[in-house]
């Protein structure tokens, strides 16, 4: 099978790092959202089953079929919105499931009609790259900020990474991860957890539809998922070279509208078990789409397949795997994420700032996105694009070459 010929230690590690970063950085928010709706422990486990299976299938199958890294994740800002809205509105789990299904229908419609992809195609490459750099730079900063509480660990990882880049560049991140695990294990730094192995049993929850839940849960969930997750997710695809390349003599790239439709349909099917919103990934996508995953872009899909397979394992053995992953120190997770993203951040900034006509607008996009500002419940990724587009409009209105690309 071609997949095993293309697979490498670097891509396997990239898949594991993507899961480690994606899971540990936001699983607490998902738990909080589930508990805000009055979920029992069995329901919380069912949420992890639904999300793990959904992310796994939507990542693994398209990546194998297209031989391109298609990365899907749960909506972290969506979970935060749900946790807040559930407490404020007093909603219960059946109403939440109804809202999940309504949101899934809206996501499916956005993908099926293709309107979201058409909007994204009108964003200049410089702004899309600046958006991606801004999203990822926060994780880079967090990686080095971890030195405040774990200086020896972060310094050891940084030295390992630099030596790896010098002598074994393809395996710099895998070697750094191994060194970090050994370092933490030697110092008994892993968090003690009770691990009970066993298959997770999904729990069906019949939906209840109400106008209040649609307005207070479904619409905000849809908006933040599209603006704060799918928007930077598409930017990651374009900035890493997996967008539509037909104008340059390449192929059509990852079919964005079809993948978004797939995430919507999958969310709809798994919503009664706790899948609240699936979407394109940006942070974990950059890990599996960047040069650290494989030197050859045509083989980086193996990192996404590895990630998808691990997500499936998380879904099937949710409680046990959650215990294993949460045992990792948060400083190790932050540092390995920051180091793994250095190449992608560098490449995105290079593309964003190389064009004189777009440089200042791209810089504004980068800084607004990096700021993490949240306005009207919508994250900085959306406002970064708005600010950059406004800068382009003011600076170059009427100049043909500065107009947004036709699409």
Torsion angle defined by CA atoms of residues 332, 302, 297 and 366, in that order, rounded to the nearest 10 degrees: -40
Confidence band for 396, pLDDT divided at 50, 70 and 90: confident
Find which of 28-42, 192-206, 263-277 is predicted with most confidence, using mean pLDDT.
Answer: 263-277
Supply the pLDDT for residue 399: 66
Q: With beta carbons less than 8 A apart as the criterion, state whether 306 and 4 touch.
A: no
DSSP one-letter code for 280: E
Note the maximum CA span of the chain.
64
**What is the share, in percent, of the chain residues with pLDDT greater than 70?**
94
User: What gap in Å lies between CA 192 and CA 204, rounded to an integer?
Assistant: 32
End-to-end alpha carbon distance in the chain = 38
Q: Is the pLDDT of residue 338 over 50?
A: yes
Supply the pLDDT for residue 199: 85
Reference 308, options 340, 262, 243; nearest CA is 262
DSSP one-letter code for 282: S
Tokens describing residue 398: 């009427």
Supply the pLDDT for residue 246: 80
Cα dihedral sign, 31-33-34-36: positive
Q: Which residue has the higher pLDDT, 372 or 245?
A: 372
Unique residue bearing structure tokens 């560049």 = 169
Confidence band for 402, pLDDT divided at 50, 70 and 90: very low
Supply the pLDDT for residue 85: 87
Q: With beta carbons less than 8 A apart as the criterion, state whether 60 and 50 touch.
A: no
Q: Is the pLDDT of residue 325 over 80?
A: no
Alpha-helical (H) ranges within 114-191 are 115-121, 125-145, 151-167, 172-186
Supply the pLDDT for residue 398: 64
pLDDT digits (tens, 9 = 90+) for 220-277: 999 989 988 999 999 999 989 998 888 777 788 999 999 999 999 999 999 999 999 9
Reference 204, options 120, 119, 67, 97; nearest CA is 97
Q: Which residues pair with 72 in a beta bridge?
A: 280
Supply the pLDDT for residue 94: 97
User: What gap in Å lies between CA 277 and CA 305, rounded to an integer?
Assistant: 21
Q: With beta carbons less than 8 A apart as the criterion, state whether 83 and 36 touch.
A: yes
Unique residue bearing structure tokens 């104008």 = 247
Of the listed ranges 73-82, 103-112, 207-216, 397-406, the one predicted with least confidence: 397-406
Tokens describing residue 24: 């540990």
User: What gap in Å lies between CA 392 and CA 385, rounded to an integer?
Assistant: 10
Q: What is the mean pLDDT of residues 1-15?
A: 92
Q: What is the mean pLDDT of residues 109-133?
A: 91
Q: With beta carbons less than 8 A apart as the criterion, state whether 256 and 113 touch.
A: no
Confidence band for 193, pLDDT divided at 50, 70 and 90: low
Residues 6 or more apart in contact with residue 5 via CB below 8 angstroms: none
Q: With beta carbons less than 8 A apart as the criterion, state whether 298 and 67 touch.
A: yes
Supply the pLDDT for residue 277: 97
Confidence band for 51, pLDDT divided at 50, 70 and 90: very high
Tokens describing residue 176: 């750094």
User: What gap in Å lies between CA 350 and CA 343, rounded to an integer?
Assistant: 11
Domain segments of the chain as ranges:
2-402
Of the listed ranges 91-100, 192-201, 259-268, 292-301, the one predicted with least confidence: 192-201
Q: With beta carbons less than 8 A apart as the criterion, state whether 225 and 107 touch.
A: yes
Q: What is the mean pLDDT of residues 56-60?
A: 98
Supply the pLDDT for residue 328: 84
Which value, in Å, is the radius of gyration of the alpha carbons in the chain? 21
Q: Is the pLDDT of residue 406 over 60?
A: no
Supply the pLDDT for residue 202: 93
Strand 72-74 versus strand 278-280 pairing type: antiparallel
Q: Write down the mean pLDDT value for the chain.
A: 90
Residues 6 or more apart in contact with residue 269 via CB below 8 angstroms: none
Supply the pLDDT for residue 378: 77
Phi then psi for residue 267, to 5 deg, are -60, -40
Q: Three-state SS for 90? A: coil
Reference 51, options 70, 79, 25; nearest CA is 79
Find which of 188-202, 267-281, 386-400 is predicted with most confidence, using mean pLDDT.
Answer: 267-281
Q: Is the pLDDT of residue 332 over 80?
A: yes
């Amino acid at each position: 099978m071609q997949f095993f010929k293309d697979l490498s230690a670097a891509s396997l590690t990239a898949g594991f790092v993507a899961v480690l970063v994606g899971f540990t950085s936001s699983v607490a928010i998902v738990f909080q959202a589930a508990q805000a709706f009055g979920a029992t422990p069995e329901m919380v486990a069912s949420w992890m089953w639904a999300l793990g299976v959904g992310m796994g299938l939507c990542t693994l199958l398209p990546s194998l079929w297209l031989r391109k890294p298609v990365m899907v994740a749960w909506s972290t800002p969506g979970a935060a919105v749900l946790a807040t809205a559930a407490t404020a509105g007093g909603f219960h789990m059946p109403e939440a499931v109804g809202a999940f299904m309504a949101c899934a229908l809206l996501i499916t419609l956005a993908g099926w009609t293709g309107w979201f992809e058409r909007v994204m195609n009108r964003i200049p490459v410089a702004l899309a790259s600046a958006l991606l750099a801004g999203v990822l730079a926060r994780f880079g900063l967090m990686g080095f900020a971890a030195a405040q509480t774990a200086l020896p660990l972060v310094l050891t990882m940084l030295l390992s990474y630099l030596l790896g880049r010098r002598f074994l560049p393809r395996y710099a991140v895998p070697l750094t991860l191994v060194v970090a695990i050994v370092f933490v294990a030697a110092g008994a730094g892993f968090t003690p957890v009770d691990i009970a192995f066993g298959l997770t049993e999904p729990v069906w929850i019949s939906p209840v539809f109400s106008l209040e839940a649609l307005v207070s849960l479904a619409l905000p969930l849809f908006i933040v998922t599209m603006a704060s997750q799918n928007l930077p997710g598409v930017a990651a695809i374009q900035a890493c070279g997996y967008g539509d390349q037909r104008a340059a003599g390449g192929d059509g790239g990852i079919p964005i509208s079809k993948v978004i439709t797939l995430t919507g349909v999958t969310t709809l099917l798994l919503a009664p078990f706790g899948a609240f919103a699936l979407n394109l990934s940006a942070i974990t996508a950059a890990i599996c789409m960047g040069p650290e995953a494989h030197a050859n872009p045509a083989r980086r899909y193996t990192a996404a397949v590895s990630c998808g397979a691990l997500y499936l394992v998380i879904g099937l053995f949710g409680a046990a795997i959650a215990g294993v992953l949460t045992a990792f120190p948060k400083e190790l997770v932050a540092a390995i994420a920051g180091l793994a993203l250095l190449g992608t951040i560098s490449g995105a900034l290079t593309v964003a700032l190389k064009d004189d006509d777009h440089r200042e607008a791209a810089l504004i996009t980068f800084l607004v996105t990096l700021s993490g500002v949240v306005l009207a419940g919508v994250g900085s990724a959306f406002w970064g694009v708005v600010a950059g587009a406004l800068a382009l409009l003011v600076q170059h209105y009427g100049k043909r070459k500065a107009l947004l690309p036709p699409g």
